Amino acid sequence: MSTPQLDKTYSPHDVENRWYQRWIDGGLFHADPAHTGQPYSMVIPPPNVTGSLHVGHALNNTLQDILSRWRRMQGRNVLWMPGTDHAGIATQNVVERQLQAEGTSRETLGREAFLRRVWKWKEQSGGTIIGQLKKLGASCDWERERFTMDPGLSEAVREVFVRLHQDELLYRGERLINWCPRCLTALSDIEVEHEETTGKLYTIRYRLADDPTQCLLVATTRPETLFGDTAVAVHPEDDRFRHLIGKHVRLPLTDRAIRIVGDSILVDREFGTGAVKITPAHDFNDFEAGERHALKRIKILDLHAHLRLADSLADAAVAEAVENLPVAKARPKIEQLLTDQGFLEKSEPHKMALGKCYRCKTVVEPFLSDQWFVKIKPLAEPAIQVVEDGRVRIIPEAWKNNYLGWMRDIKDWCVSRQIWWGHQIPAWYCETCYGTPFLRRSSDGAPLIPSDAVAIVAKTMPDACPHGHRDALVQDPDVLDTWFSSALWPFSTLGWPKQTPELKAYYPTSTLVTGLDILFFWVARMIMMGLKFMGDVPFRDVYIHALVRDAEGQKMSKSKGNVIDPLHVMEQYGTDALRFTLAAMASPGRDVKLAEERIEGYRNFTNKIWNAARFLLMHLDGERVDVPPAQRSFPDRWILSRLNTAISTVTQELEQYRFDRASSAVYQFIWHEYCDKYIEMVKPALKDATSEQAKSTRQTLAETYETMMRLLHPFMPFITEEIWQTLPHAGASIVRSPFPTTRTDWESQEVEQEFALLEECRALMNQARAILGYPAGKKLHFRAHGKTSKVGSALRKHKFLIEYMENVEDLWIADTFEGSNPGGLLVLTGNSVQVRTSMEDADLQKAKDNVIKQNMLLQKEVARTQQKLSNPDFVAKAPPDVLSEHHERLKRESQIIQLFQEALGHIEVHTWDRKRHERS
RNA sequence: GGGCGGAUAGCUCAAUUGGGAGAGCGCUGCCCUUACAAGGCAGAGGUCACAGGUUCGAUCCCUGUUCCGCCUACCA
């Protein structure tokens, strides 16, 4: 029989493409709800359809793939559900930029044509990231790929919207919301990123209406909003200002007088001047203060956050100077005007948090408008409950409090977006009932639905309004927040609202793997919606992985130029190397700092694996005899026992989502136990290919390597499949072969202990070589002493192996440490083994230096141990085993020192001999 | 402002009931030994951030300090 041979270095490229295609062709990732295994399901965190793979995706999906492949091999009924989300704002931005480049705009095209255009773009470019996930080896069930705007998922969205509305958990109203003046849409609170910046704190004089010689000093960071002021607040218990409450001040630069009110909530007496201007239409706190004092709301900004002072009664000259300017440009002009007219008391630098749009980084404005909100408290309560009682586990647990804290303080969720790409809100309004046709926005012709128009919420357009009017129904032009549909992902992808076999088999899903950054955006909302509409949690475990940073710990960003492109890495080092690196570095609660050298290190690991396989195939020709483990050779029994431990460790660590420990365990085993030790040990046995020994060793080699490939497969799917296919194996693909399980007949404590003796012996021999300056290639004579006859006989049993591994000739073995050393040998002692060797050809001066150095180190340690043992408290209070360990240590160290002293004496004699010899 | 996490070898990180701190990468030396130089063998390298406390004994537990992250917040 002949086995195939492999190339000298592993070249990932062809291997990866070839096997991925075959896995797909074989339908190996396809999930069948009728499969008899216990279901194991995950939904992918849907990447933006506009996106392309970055390292964060690579980490996220590598971990999911490890879980999927591992569970699949364990025989579970695995579904890993893939797909993308429509990323409303981001996608619309992309297509709008294209239109802009073409000299047109979405308004010119009109809604329908624009949407056709986006769909076209999505069909062409939307698949990019999916292709990249496939390159990564993701074993998703691609036949089930979903998109948040698929018909089925859109139906789920409408169903949820209607039911939330029926349950009075959804309402429309005029509120202050976060507005992005560039995207021209509302944002939810968490779509605003806060960034610390240094601005200015301006102190402005507001003159009293009835005594213009007196003024109230008001502090603000936004002087341009004074045009929207409708009151000034002071603390009702502030003696400085209490007498002013109820009086009026003249608003600078305008022809208005505004009231002074007392407000203990809004005003912090310690801060600024103790007096605050109230701008209800442009500040969240002021909005609430405005409600408390029944203040008018004056809007002074338009959709683009340009000043519009028509309602503010601003001085004509002022209005002319700043009208239609963006805030950033208007502010310095206002500052100048205030200065010129003597209103500005002072301005000083001031640190503050500025809110920016998470999509485009434009400064967001609090903006008064009609929006749809989800009433969130009733949904949040059960979602808090399930995390508190552990029905949903958050791993690592440290994030649990983070989640709970946020959920307990959650605010209503603004779900309407003033864009076109997305799920258009299933609400209609009757113009006939309203009395007049709705106004249309001149920019895009979208209807402006008045606050008091009554919404008819339904899954499909109603034939008529409740009053029977048929011809003037207008659909709400807004679309829903993308996260609204993402929140349904764990059940909408399984067919809900239809009761499908998939839904039955795979919901609740088993695990969700995601990054911390979307814990609130997505995880929290899935839990709320899952509980509300499925009556059960959407997943049992949430594994939260860290952010990927660059080697310096900086967040990767295109502008910093420190982005590691996973596709480039895969091309250069192979996908398996990238995956393994990410898994190995995924320690919980810590950011992943990724440096390319680490990937290179694991590329080397793939090459090591590859070459070990080459070694196997070179020696696998010939008969293999399968004898019971207990009857196999010592190296065979040892590697089986170690393999057993590795299987147990990897499995346990994966169960606890310790990808880092699992991968380092498999790395350690393969490189340092299998390659460094085991393969070296079996070489002699394979020399005579026809021997009985060779036959059973070949069997062990094949069996262990094949098992090892299955153990490694979830981490490195490609190379393991490639090698596995060349080895004796059962089954068509490693993808569906069983994950290794432990076997009691493989484990042998006895063999492992014997091996430890060999290692001790070898280490001492190496140390002796180093001290005496003998090169590794030089054959030496050694004497090995066992501390007991049991150790001695173990050494005797493995005499040949020691000789072979350590390049030793005629090893002489004794059963005791006792016995004189008449030959002036160098003696080194370990716990159970002592080795002695000749110094004949050594570099004696070097040896002397080495021994003196070692001796000094040891003496320091002895002194420490002695000191501890001479402390009566220690002797009295330390536990007996610690005490005896210290005594033992002292004894051993003292012995070694004595032996070193002797060695020094011998070295002197040898040196002297050698000199005499040279002279004569 | 509040909360959480971190600080251990040159770098990145491990280390559970408190009893002489380990790995990978890097570095140094020797070796092209027929699986692998993307390799082998050996070695150097630590005040476990700082200061107190508890203890016979602290990298570990407690308190405080410094520095670095992250989350969160309406201090105009």
Higher pLDDT, A914 or A417: A417
Is residue A558 in some structural domain?
Answer: no
Q: Is the pLDDT of residue A126 over 80?
A: yes
Backbone φ and ψ for A712, nearest 5 degrees, come out as -85, -20
Considering only residues 152-191 of chain A, list those whose CB is below 7 Å from strand B. Answer: 189-190
Q: Which of A475, A479, A435 is nearest to A458 (CA)?
A: A475
Share of chain A above pLDDT 70, in %: 98
pLDDT value of residue A347: 87
Q: How far apart are CA A291 and CA A288, in angstroms?
A: 5
Nucleotide nearest to A196 (CA to C1'): B73
For the stretch A597-621, pLDDT in tens is 888 889 999 999 999 999 999 999 9
Considering only residues 519-558 of chain A, list those whose CB is below 7 Å from strand B. Answer: 520, 551-553, 555
- Please tell me whether residues A855 and A715 are part of one structural domain: no
Q: Which residue is nearest to nucleotide B34 (CA to C1')?
A: A615
Residue A144 neighbours by CB under 8 Å, 6+ apart: A31, A79, A81, A82, A493, A502
Q: Is the CB of A220 under 7 A from strand B?
A: yes
Backbone φ and ψ for A869, nearest 5 degrees, come out as -70, -20
Higher pLDDT, A773 or A224: A224
Nucleotide nearest to A608 (CA to C1'): B36
Half-sphere exposure of A323 (CA within 13 A, CB side): 12
pLDDT value of residue A718: 97
Q: Is the CB of A66 under 7 A from strand B?
A: no
Q: What is the DSSP letter of A468?
A: -
Name the amino acid, one letter, at A744: T
pLDDT value of residue A492: 97
Nucleotide nearest to A286 (CA to C1'): B74
pLDDT value of residue A553: 60
The Cα-based distances of A878 to A283, A751, A814, A862, A874 in angstroms read 66, 34, 37, 19, 5
Q: Is the pLDDT of residue A1 over 60?
A: no
Q: How far apart are CA A445 and CA A451, in angstroms?
A: 18
Mean pLDDT of A887-904: 87
Nucleotide nearest to A597 (CA to C1'): B25
Confidence of residue A562 (pLDDT cuts 50, 70, 90): low
- Please tell me whether residues A895 and A855 are part of one structural domain: yes
Helices A692-712 and A596-619 cross at an angle (nearest 10°) of: 150
A170 neighbors A177 (Cβ within 8 angstroms): no
Confidence of residue A558 (pLDDT cuts 50, 70, 90): low
Question: What is the spatial distance, in angstroms and rounded to an integer, between the CA atom of A412 and the C1' atom of B57?
Answer: 56
Nucleotide nearest to A546 (CA to C1'): B70
Q: Which of A842, A852, A846, A836 is nearest to A900 (CA)?
A: A852
State yes or no: cis peptide before A212, omega within 30 of 0: no
Q: Which residue is nearest to nucleotide B29 (CA to C1')?
A: A770
Q: How many domains does chain A have?
A: 4
Q: Is the CB of A859 under 7 A from strand B?
A: no
Handedness of CA A824, A830, A834, A839 (dihedral sign): negative
| Domain end residue (candidates: A819, A841, A863) | A841
- Please tell me whether residues A794 and A882 are part of one structural domain: no
- Please tell me whether residues A775 and A876 are part of one structural domain: no
The helix/strand count (H/E) of chain A reads as 31, 31
For the stretch A710-742, pLDDT in tens is 999 999 999 999 999 999 999 999 999 999 999
CATH number for the domain including A324? 3.90.740.10
Backbone φ and ψ for A598, nearest 5 degrees, come out as -65, -40
pLDDT value of residue A160: 97
Is residue A732 in some structural domain?
Answer: no
Q: Is the pLDDT of residue A453 over 80?
A: yes
pLDDT value of residue A64: 95
Strand B bases near protein CB (under 7 Å) are: 3-6, 11-14, 19-20, 23-26, 30-31, 33, 35-43, 55-57, 68-76
- Please tell me whether residues A706 and A617 are part of one structural domain: yes
Is residue A288 in some structural domain?
Answer: yes
Is residue A69 in some structural domain?
Answer: no
| Domain end residue (candidates: A726, A757, A779) | A726
Q: Is the pLDDT of residue A315 over 80?
A: yes
| Domain end residue (candidates: A345, A365, A385) | A365
Name residue A374's beta-bridge partners. A170, A413
Q: Count Cβ atoms within 10 A of the Cβ of residue A189 and give its class: 0-12 exposed, 13-18 middle, 19 or more buried.
A: middle
pLDDT value of residue A146: 96
Other C-beta atoms lying within 10 Å of the C-beta of residue A100: 11
The Cα-based distances of A603 to A306, A355, A447, A599, A723 in angstroms read 55, 43, 59, 6, 16
- Please tell me whether residues A708 and A688 are part of one structural domain: yes
CATH number for the domain including A862? 1.10.287.380
Is residue A634 in some structural domain?
Answer: yes
Q: Is the CB of A888 under 7 A from strand B?
A: no
pLDDT value of residue A90: 87
Q: What is the dihedral of CA A728, A731, A737, A738, to 10 degrees?
A: -80
Higher pLDDT, A794 or A585: A794
Token pair for A674:
């299998």
- DSSP-derived 3-state class of residue A691: coil
Half-sphere exposure of A23 (CA within 13 A, CB side): 26
Q: Which domain holds residue A343?
A: 186-365
Q: Is the pLDDT of residue A857 over 90?
A: no
- DSSP-derived 3-state class of residue A835: strand
Nucleotide nearest to A872 (CA to C1'): B56
Residue whose tokens read 């502008």: A559
Token pair for A582:
């990410």
pLDDT value of residue A529: 96
Mean pLDDT of A640-664: 92
State in Å, rounded, how far the first CA of chain A is from the last one: 65
Q: Is the CB of A25 under 7 A from strand B?
A: no
- Please tell me whether residues A803 and A698 are part of one structural domain: no
Q: How far apart are CA A285 and CA A329, in angstroms?
A: 25
Q: Which of A117, A35, A120, A127 is nearest to A82 (CA)?
A: A127
Q: How far apart are CA A536 and CA A417, in angstroms?
A: 29
Would you put residue A724 in left (φ > 0), alpha (ψ -120 to 50) or beta? alpha
Q: Is the CB of A267 under 7 A from strand B?
A: yes
Residue A473 neighbours by CB under 8 Å, 6+ apart: A428, A429, A430, A431, A456, A461, A462, A464, A465
pLDDT value of residue A78: 97
Backbone φ and ψ for A26, nearest 5 degrees, come out as -80, 0
Considering only residues 670-699 of chain A, list those whose CB is below 7 Å from strand B. Answer: 671-672, 675-676, 679-680, 683
Residue A446 neighbours by CB under 8 Å, 6+ apart: A111, A440, A477
The number of angstroms, rounded, from the C-alpha of A768 to the middle of its chain's C-alpha atoms is 47
Is residue A129 in some structural domain?
Answer: no
Q: Is the CB of A894 under 7 A from strand B?
A: no
Residue whose tokens read 């890993």: A80
ipTM: 0.93
- Please tell me whether residues A214 and A312 are part of one structural domain: yes
- DSSP-derived 3-state class of residue A28: coil
A764 neighbors A830 (Cβ within 8 angstroms): yes
Higher pLDDT, A527 or A828: A527
Half-sphere exposure of A512 (CA within 13 A, CB side): 27
Half-sphere exposure of A805 (CA within 13 A, CB side): 23
Average pLDDT value over all residues in chain A: 90
Q: Is the CB of A776 under 7 A from strand B?
A: yes
Helices A749-772 and A799-806 cross at an angle (nearest 10°) of: 40
Is residue A273 in some structural domain?
Answer: yes
For the stretch A486-502, pLDDT in tens is 999 999 999 999 999 99
Q: Which residue is nearest to nucleotide B6 (CA to C1')?
A: A590
Residue whose tokens read 């480049």: A101
CATH number for the domain including A623? 1.10.730.10
Q: Which of A535, A539, A533 is nearest to A161 (CA)?
A: A533
For the stretch A676-717, pLDDT in tens is 999 999 999 998 889 999 999 999 999 999 999 999 999 999
A20 neighbors A134 (Cβ within 8 angstroms): yes
Is residue A253 in some structural domain?
Answer: yes
Q: Is the pLDDT of residue A772 over 90?
A: no
Mean pLDDT of A773-785: 85
Question: What is the spatial distance, in angstroms and rounded to an integer, between the CA atom of A246 and the C1' atom of B67?
Answer: 50
Other C-beta atoms lying within 10 Å of the C-beta of residue A273: 18
pLDDT value of residue A560: 62
- Please tell me whether residues A634 and A753 are part of one structural domain: no
Higher pLDDT, A532 or A913: A532
Q: Which of A227, A240, A298, A294 is nearest to A267 (CA)?
A: A240
- Please tell me whether residues A647 and A683 are part of one structural domain: yes
pLDDT value of residue A2: 47
Token pair for A897:
């020192």
Considering only residues 268-307 of chain A, list those whose CB is below 7 Å from strand B. Answer: 268-277, 283-285
Question: What is the spatial distance, in angstroms and rounded to an integer, between the CA atom of A699 and the C1' atom of B30?
Answer: 36
Residue whose tokens read 């971990």: A63
- Please tell me whether residues A281 and A356 are part of one structural domain: yes
For the stretch A146-165, pLDDT in tens is 999 999 999 999 999 999 99
- Please tell me whether residues A856 and A765 are part of one structural domain: no
Among the residues of A425-524, which ranges form H helices? 431-434, 482-486, 489-492, 501-506
- DSSP-derived 3-state class of residue A876: helix
Mean pLDDT of A393-418: 87
Confidence of residue A899 (pLDDT cuts 50, 70, 90): confident
Residue A308 neighbours by CB under 8 Å, 6+ apart: A299, A300, A301, A302, A323, A324
Q: Which of A835, A818, A812 is nearest to A761 (CA)?
A: A835
Residue A481 neighbours by CB under 8 Å, 6+ apart: A88, A188, A413, A414, A415, A416, A417, A422
Half-sphere exposure of A900 (CA within 13 A, CB side): 21
Nucleotide nearest to A854 (CA to C1'): B43
User: What is the rounded radius of gyration, in angstroms, for the C-alpha atoms of chain A?
Assistant: 38
